């Protein structure tokens, strides 16, 4: 089957939490055959720096003009600027996509090559369009109308719509573009039997034809997907949990955010987005990362469970994940280079005496295209808050010299600034911790310090990849890195 090139045009306007989740769901499909172009309608809730990491092109209008203007520009750009693409796919910033939607679109248009002419395609089944269905088949329904959150056109259809807009410029200001513009094609939509898109609705403040509700949770229900894929069913639960956790967190002072935030929600969402194949998790203990179905994880720790419980007696009443492999997470000597699709190491990097050496090793162990998934405590929200930020120069010295150069001072700093002991007592305590090889936080960062350490660290170890995602998650920072070389 020929692989078509698809331009994904996303219309955005405010709603930062929903927008971020929408754009994250599209990252898996970006590549040689699919690009994301964002058309932002003068959002006041965020600027270009918020949107840039998620797209291959960004147009921000200077004045708010409505969805019709964004759609008209997307059609014209597709016809006149992006001639290398075969399909224009239109969606909004209040959607979540099953990553297989690209393959489904490709299949729909490939099969239509045998038709007298192609039909526009939709991948979202909406209760508001069910009465427009004319015929039903196994894979799709034939429908007179299609929700605007998921519409796809080939080049011939897009050119006809642009010709219509050029001849009737007032159509660019008429509400209901998703109904009026496709009507000029005089051909029905083919809408997939299953929904490959979930719609999170618009806030009541935004108005619109289907926005009469006042309860935010009801707003998310009013136009939810009919017949969603299993992936979307799972994603919807996590998305709604995260949206309402974010709403609560935004009303709390910083120290309360860390206490009340369930870190597992965002961790799981990002794991489902970025991690697939076979990989390892280092030091999972009682909180292994929730990954998508059919993802294989081997658990690695430096000691068996019985010895871990001796070191961490506070976990005696919790169920620890039994390690599949006993290994040093900093060196991973039991794993071949380029043998893993991902490495998960949550609350691990701060325990590494040689931060850059560990980062270098982890990149070597994953394949090109693989990911490193880290959660690191934010110093400002933990017991490390009185300690100085680890400098990059210190990390380089650990990497190029011998980490032992600072080991004793790390233990002393811990005893004094974390345990609150005075000079002589702190020295005695630090000496005992060092004899026991107790696993402390050797390094600490706030958000700026960690991002800088990762960015500059990649240069230091030969630029094997880039930071694909970086985000505050309650008291921790989630960092996802991708190997490219």
**Is the same domain home to 282 and 187?**
no
Q: How many CB atoms lie within 10 A of CB 446?
A: 16
Per the domain annotation, does 386 fall within a domain?
A: yes
Per the domain annotation, does 30 fall within a domain?
A: yes
Q: How many whole angstroms separate alpha carbon 195 and alpha carbon 224?
A: 10
Question: Who contacts 39 (Cβ-Cβ below 8 Å, separation ≥6)?
Answer: 9, 10, 11, 12, 59, 61, 70, 71, 73, 74
- Residue 265's pLDDT is 79
**Is the same domain home to 265 and 206?**
no
Cβ–Cβ < 8 Å for 257, 378: no
Per the domain annotation, does 1 fall within a domain?
A: no
At residue 142, the 3 state secondary structure works out as strand
**Is the same domain home to 268 and 356?**
yes
Residue 209 sits in a domain of what CATH number?
3.90.550.10
Q: How many whole angstroms separate alpha carbon 383 and alpha carbon 412?
A: 15
**Is the same domain home to 363 and 427?**
yes
- How far is residue 77 from each of residues 27, 163, 340, 423, measured CA to CA in Å? 21, 13, 40, 67
> Structural domain tally of the chain?
2
- Residue 132's pLDDT is 92
- H helix and E strand count, the chain: 16, 18
- How far is residue 472 from each of residues 64, 257, 258, 412, 479, measured CA to CA in Å? 30, 11, 10, 29, 9
**Is the same domain home to 115 and 154?**
yes
**Tens-digit pLDDT profile for residues 431-446:** 999 998 888 999 999 9
Per the domain annotation, does 66 fall within a domain?
A: yes
Per the domain annotation, does 424 fall within a domain?
A: yes
Per the domain annotation, does 96 fall within a domain?
A: yes
Q: Which two tokens stand for residue 35?
A: 């690009």
Last residue of a domain, one of 251, 272, 292: 251
- Residue 160's pLDDT is 96
Q: How many whole angstroms separate alpha carbon 322 and alpha carbon 320?
A: 6
Q: How many whole angstroms separate alpha carbon 109 and alpha carbon 236?
A: 28
**Is the same domain home to 203 and 268?**
no
- In 3D, which of 374, 361, 307 has the Cα closest to residue 330? 361
- In 3D, which of 167, 88, 156 has the Cα closest to residue 117? 156
- Judging by DSSP bridges, how do beta strands 366-377 and 87-92 pair with one another? unpaired
**Is the same domain home to 70 and 169?**
yes
Q: Is the dihedral of CA 54, 59, 61, 67 positive or negative?
A: negative
**Is the same domain home to 233 and 307?**
no
- Residue 218's pLDDT is 61
Residue 309 sits in a domain of what CATH number?
3.40.50.150
- In 3D, which of 34, 35, 38, 160 has the Cα closest to residue 104? 34
Per the domain annotation, does 133 fall within a domain?
A: yes
Range of the domain at 431: 258-483
- Residue 87's pLDDT is 97
**Is the same domain home to 352 and 215?**
no
Per the domain annotation, does 239 fall within a domain?
A: yes
- Residue 264's pLDDT is 76
Cβ–Cβ < 8 Å for 362, 331: no
**Is the same domain home to 247 and 267?**
no
- In 3D, which of 129, 106, 224 has the Cα closest to residue 182? 129
Last residue of a domain, one of 228, 251, 274: 251
**Is the same domain home to 198 and 341?**
no
Q: Is the dihedral of CA 387, 389, 391, 394 positive or negative?
A: positive
Q: What is the pLDDT along the chain (485 residues), one digit of tens a residue?
A: 678 999 999 999 888 888 988 998 898 888 889 999 999 999 888 888 889 888 999 999 988 888 899 999 999 999 999 999 999 999 999 999 999 999 999 999 999 988 888 999 999 999 889 999 999 999 999 999 999 999 999 999 999 999 999 998 888 877 788 888 999 999 999 999 999 999 987 554 444 444 454 555 566 777 889 999 999 988 887 777 766 654 444 443 444 334 434 567 788 888 988 999 999 999 999 889 999 888 999 999 999 999 888 887 877 888 889 999 999 999 999 999 999 999 999 999 999 999 999 999 999 999 999 999 999 999 988 889 899 999 999 999 999 887 677 889 999 999 999 999 988 999 999 999 999 888 899 999 999 999 999 999 999 999 999 998 888 887 889 999 999 99
Last residue of a domain, one of 235, 251, 267: 251
Q: How many whole angstroms separate alpha carbon 471 and alpha carbon 477?
A: 6
- Residue 245's pLDDT is 57
**Is the same domain home to 139 and 212?**
yes
Cβ–Cβ < 8 Å for 375, 447: no
């Amino acid at each position: 089957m020929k692989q078509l090139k698809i331009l994904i045009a996303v219309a955005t306007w405010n709603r930062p939490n929903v927008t971020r989740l929408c754009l994250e769901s599209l990252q898996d499909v970006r590549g040689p055959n699919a690009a994301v172009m964002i058309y932002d309608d003068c959002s006041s809730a965020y600027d270009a720096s918020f949107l840039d990491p998620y797209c291959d092109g960004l147009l921000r209008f200077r004045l708010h003009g409505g969805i019709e203007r964004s759609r008209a520009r997307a059609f014209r750009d597709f016809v006149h600027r992006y001639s290398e693409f075969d399909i224009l796919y239109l969606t909004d910033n209040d959607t979540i996509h099953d990553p297989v939607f690209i393959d489904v679109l490709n299949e729909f248009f490939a099969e239509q090559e045998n038709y007298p002419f192609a039909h526009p395609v939709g991948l979202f089944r909406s209760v508001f369009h069910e009465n427009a269905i004319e015929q039903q088949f196994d894979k799709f329904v034939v429908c007179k109308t299609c929700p605007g959150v998921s519409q796809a056109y080939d080049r011939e259809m897009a050119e006809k719509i642009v010709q219509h807009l050029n001849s009737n410029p007032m159509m660019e200001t008429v509400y209901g573009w998703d109904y009026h513009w496709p009507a000029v094609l005089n051909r029905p939509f083919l809408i997939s039997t299953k929904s490959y898109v979930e719609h999170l609705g618009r806030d009541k403040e935004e108005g619109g034809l289907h926005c009469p509700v006042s309860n935010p949770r009801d707003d998310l229900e009013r136009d939810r997907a009919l017949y969603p894929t299993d992936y979307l069913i799972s994603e919807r639960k996590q998305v709604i949990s995260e949206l309402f956790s974010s709403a609560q967190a935004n009303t709390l002072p910083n120290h309360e955010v860390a206490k009340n935030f369930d870190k597992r929600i965002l961790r799981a969402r990002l794991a489902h987005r970025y991690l697939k194949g076979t990989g390892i998790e280092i030091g999972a203990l009682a909180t292994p990362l929730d990954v998508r179905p059919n993802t294989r994880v081997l658990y690695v720790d430096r000691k068996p469970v019985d010895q871990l419980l001796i070191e961490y007696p506070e976990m005696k009443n919790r169920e620890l994940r039994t390690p599949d492999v006993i290994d040093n997470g900093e060196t991973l000597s039991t794993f071949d280079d380029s043998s893993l699709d991902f490495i998960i190491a949550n609350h691990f990097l701060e325990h590494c005496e040689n931060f850059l050496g560990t980062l270098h090793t982890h990149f070597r162990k994953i394949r090109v295209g693989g990911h490193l998934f880290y959660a690191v405590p934010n110093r400002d929200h933990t017991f490390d808050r009185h300690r100085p930020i680890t400098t990059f120069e210190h990390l380089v010295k650990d990497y190029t010299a011998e980490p032992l150069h600072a080991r004793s001072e790390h233990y002393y700093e811990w005893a004094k600034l974390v345990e609150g002991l005075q000079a002589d007592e702190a020295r005695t305590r630090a000496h005992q911790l060092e004899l026991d090889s107790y696993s402390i936080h050797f390094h600490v960062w706030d958000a700026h310090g960690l991002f800088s350490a990762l960015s500059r660290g990649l240069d230091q170890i030969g630029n094997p990849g880039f930071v694909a995602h970086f985000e505050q998650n309650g008291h921790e920072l989630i960092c996802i890195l991708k190997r490219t070389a």
